[in-house]
Each structure stands twice: as C-alpha cells, then as structure tokens.
Amino acid sequence: MGQSFLLRHIGETTSGEPQARPVDLVHLARHTLGDEDLEREVLQLFVTQSRIYLNRLKEAGDRAQWQRAAHTIKGSARGIGAWAVAECAEQAELLGHDVAEDRCRNAIVALETELEAATAYIRSLFVEH
C-alpha cells in the first residue's frame, strides 16, 4: 500500500499559509482508509463521472433529468470532499431544467467553474513532486 495523498499533500503551500483545496483530503483519506490506490481510483472516477453528468445537466430535457444529473454530481462531490462542487450542484438541483433560463445557465457556469478547479487539483495530485 502506498502513502496516502493526505500524507503527501496536506499542508503544502508556497506562502506558509493554510491553503484551501477543492478536495478535502482528510475526508477522502477517511473514506479510503489512506489506501493510495483506492484514492486514485475514486478521484479518477469522480473526474470522469462529473464531466459526464455535467453534460447531462446541460442537455437535460426535463426537470427529472436535470435533478438526477445535479444530484449525482452532488453525491460524488460529497464522497470525495469536494464541498464547493457539492454546494453548486445542490443549488442547481433546486432549479428547473430550462438551460435557456439565466439562473440555470448561471448554475451550470458556477458548477463548471468549481468542477474545473477540483479536476485541476486532482490532476496535480498525480504529478510526482
């Protein structure tokens, strides 16, 4: 078993200040028992699945499809500790499905922004230091 991402990446910052991260590595390590292979697998699944369900959200034809897509992203994000993504998905889940409507478009933009931040952070974890 490899060393957890938690042990390698917690507290890393260039300024010496605590750094807010798009993924709560403590939460992730708790759920994976610090198993690095499992952490990698879960994070990779999140990256793939969140992109699929973001596209489903954008293409939702009715309220049920919209809510299912948002709910799935929310659950996946909570599972890895991507709290900002989960919050945006939860807000989107409460809306209708008309992507032509400003508040739905804004929800998609906000969610996509948070997903991009989480994805970039996840990818950075796989880069050897």
pLDDT digits (tens, 9 = 90+) for 28-61: 999 999 899 999 999 999 999 999 999 999 999 8
CATH code, 56? 1.20.120.160
Residue-number span of the structural domain to which 61 is assigned: 5-125
pLDDT digits (tens, 9 = 90+) for 63-92: 899 999 999 999 999 999 999 999 999 999
Burial class (CB in 10 A: 0-12, 13-18, 19+), 98: middle
pTM equals: 0.84
- How many folded domains does the chain comprise? 1
